[in-house]
Amino acid sequence: MTEIKGQVIEAMQESGLRPMESFNYMSNEAGGEDAIGHTVKDHMNYCYKLKIKAIETGDSQVVCDKLQEAYYEDPNFFFRVRLDADGRAMGGKCPVSLFTDQDAAMAAAIPKSDDTFKAAFTKCLSGCINESQFEVCWDSMMTKYKLKNNSWFKRLYSLKHKWSTALSKDFFSAGILSSQRSESTNRAVGFKANKKTSLTEFYDIFQKTVKTWRRNEDFYEFNSTKSIPTSSYPMSALLKHAAEVYTHTLFRDFEEEFNPAIGSQTKLLLINGGKMVYQVYLEGRDGTTQAVTYDPANQTIQCPCKNFEESGWLCFHSLRILHMHSVEKIPEQYISFIWTKMAKVEIWKSKEAEQKKKGTLNNFTPWRLHMVRKYYSLILKSHKFEQARKVLEESFTKDSSAIDEIISAMKSTNNHSENTTGVEENSEATSSSVVQVLNPARAKTKGKQSNKRIPGSYDYMKKGKWRKHREFGAKTPNINNKYML
């Protein structure tokens, strides 16, 4: 394995390519496996050595060191690590929540059913608006298909709060179905971890994923702030206002709610003081009827379907009533700030104002990114031509010397303050390196479990052991709740 080939393999591994993927790429580039100059086994062994080298100080320790480095680079970066008495990732403590699905069970059961069962089950999953409607639909399905004694469906019913959207309306989920959360997480991260995936590998790949998210976010933000979306429906006042305030993606979700709002029917049920209660329903559509309470004086509207609480935008029942009362703008309290075009802009304005107040405003990051893009383009333009590369290298040497002289002169004029800052930074770095983080104790595999139960967080609190745990990490950021999801 030559040094050059090793560098190529390392670069591809850092980019997220698996060992066989990088081997196949190099084979294809070289003209076949015989021409690559090393075997598959050599390649796999080298990739394994790279993996071991990356975590030779300990997998958990490497991740914690990376988190600390990220904090030094960005004071707004936050992390917190809790260790047990032995300095390990809290062995035996259960996760607060899990995102999973039952694809295997569903795949085996659904093909054996007819289309009417699929429709009935889908309605229980995501078609019911409240708990009472869910119970009616579930009982009807159990009776019609004789499933009341089925053990799998009994267990599924006991977990109904975890998968039926009708029973999770009070929790904000951005409109994502519970059955979609694990799938969307897998798709977003870009890979599925297994028992061989190290913490360091996961951290590195996730960091690359975050960069992709931010790159896509910049593109969509530019489109949202520079243009207003159009609609296939007549642009009424409410729809125009939604197009002005919401991002393009959110506007499409709002548009889907607005469509049935136009086609729905209303009936005034009662007037209580200044409040009016309407029945809103779609003809020919079961389960859509809701009693909506509207207070024109305070511009408040409530619907039992709780779409706003769950998704962050008004349901078609509420939109129908607002449209009927000729309300031209979505009431301010029903515009979730996180879905608006100005969400990110306002956050940066707030941070900039805070930095100005403290005298710590730093506008260097945009300049750095701008210069990196310019130099990278210059490198790509010149790398094929020897004379062009020579010009670039000579310019770099000259510029580097000039910059070193400028920095040296600046340091000499402000030597005392620079030395003081250096001492503080070095002492902080030294203190962070003192923390030793050990990997979690390896769990015994299935079939080798002892009868002894692993102690959990409750046991530690019960026995007074919680105080022995240690925490370390970055300073807790002071963030306005207005900007938090």
User: Along the 485 residues of the chain, how does pLDDT read in single tens digits?
Assistant: 888 888 888 888 877 788 899 999 888 888 888 888 889 999 999 888 887 776 666 778 888 888 888 888 777 788 888 887 777 876 666 665 555 555 455 555 555 677 788 888 888 887 787 888 899 999 999 999 999 899 888 988 998 887 787 777 766 666 665 444 445 555 655 555 666 777 887 887 788 778 887 888 777 777 777 778 888 777 888 999 999 888 888 898 888 888 888 889 999 999 988 899 999 988 876 667 889 999 999 999 999 888 888 788 898 999 999 999 999 999 999 998 888 887 777 666 666 676 667 665 555 556 776 787 788 888 888 888 999 999 999 999 999 999 988 988 887 876 655 454 444 444 343 334 457 777 777 666 555 444 444 444 434 444 444 445 677 777 766 544 443 33
Residue 443 counted as domain residue: no
One domain for residues 161 and 216: no
Residue 334 counted as domain residue: yes
Beta bridge partners of 301: 294
One domain for residues 73 and 166: no
One domain for residues 147 and 222: no
Domain boundary among 315, 343, 371: 343
Q: What is the model's pLDDT at position 484?
A: 36
Residue 449 counted as domain residue: no
Number of domains in the chain: 5
Report H helices in 294-333: 307-311, 316-324
Residue 301 counted as domain residue: yes
Between β-strands 290-295 and 275-281, what pairing exists: parallel, antiparallel or unpaired? antiparallel
Residue 191's alpha-carbon distances to 60, 67, 75, 184, 389, in angstroms, are 20, 21, 29, 11, 38
One domain for residues 8 and 32: yes
Q: What is the model's pLDDT at position 446?
A: 53
Residue 351 counted as domain residue: no
Give the 3-state secondary structure of residue 105. helix
Tokens 């089950």 map to which residue? 121
> What count of residues does the chain have?
485
How many CA atoms are closer than 13 Å to the CA of 78, on its beta-carbon side?
Answer: 6
Contact 322, 301 (CB under 8 A): yes
Which residues constitute the domain of residue 116? 103-188
Interatomic CA distance for residues 382 and 389, integer angstroms:
6
One domain for residues 222 and 252: no
Domain boundary among 311, 343, 375: 343
One domain for residues 126 and 74: no
One domain for residues 127 and 72: no
One domain for residues 111 and 178: yes
CA neighbor of 215 nearest in space, from 362, 373, 77, 63: 373
CA neighbor of 91 nearest in space, from 405, 440, 359: 440
Interatomic CA distance for residues 61 and 245, integer angstroms:
45
Interatomic CA distance for residues 198 and 194, integer angstroms:
9
One domain for residues 248 and 296: yes
Q: What is the model's pLDDT at position 138?
A: 94
Here the tokens at position 3 are 């040094």
One domain for residues 336 and 305: yes
Interatomic CA distance for residues 261 and 322, integer angstroms:
10
One domain for residues 195 and 242: no
b/e map of 380-399 (b: 16 or more CB within 10 Å)? eebeeeeeeeeebeeeeeee
Q: What is the model's pLDDT at position 110?
A: 56
One domain for residues 48 and 62: no
Q: What is the model's pLDDT at position 106?
A: 54
Residue 146 counted as domain residue: yes
Residue 396 counted as domain residue: no
Q: What dihedral do alpha carbons 391, 396, 397, 399 form, nearest 10°?
A: 120
Interatomic CA distance for residues 99 and 288, integer angstroms:
29
Domain boundary among 295, 323, 343: 343
Q: What is the model's pLDDT at position 319?
A: 93
Residue 394 counted as domain residue: no
Say whether pTM exceeds 0.75: no
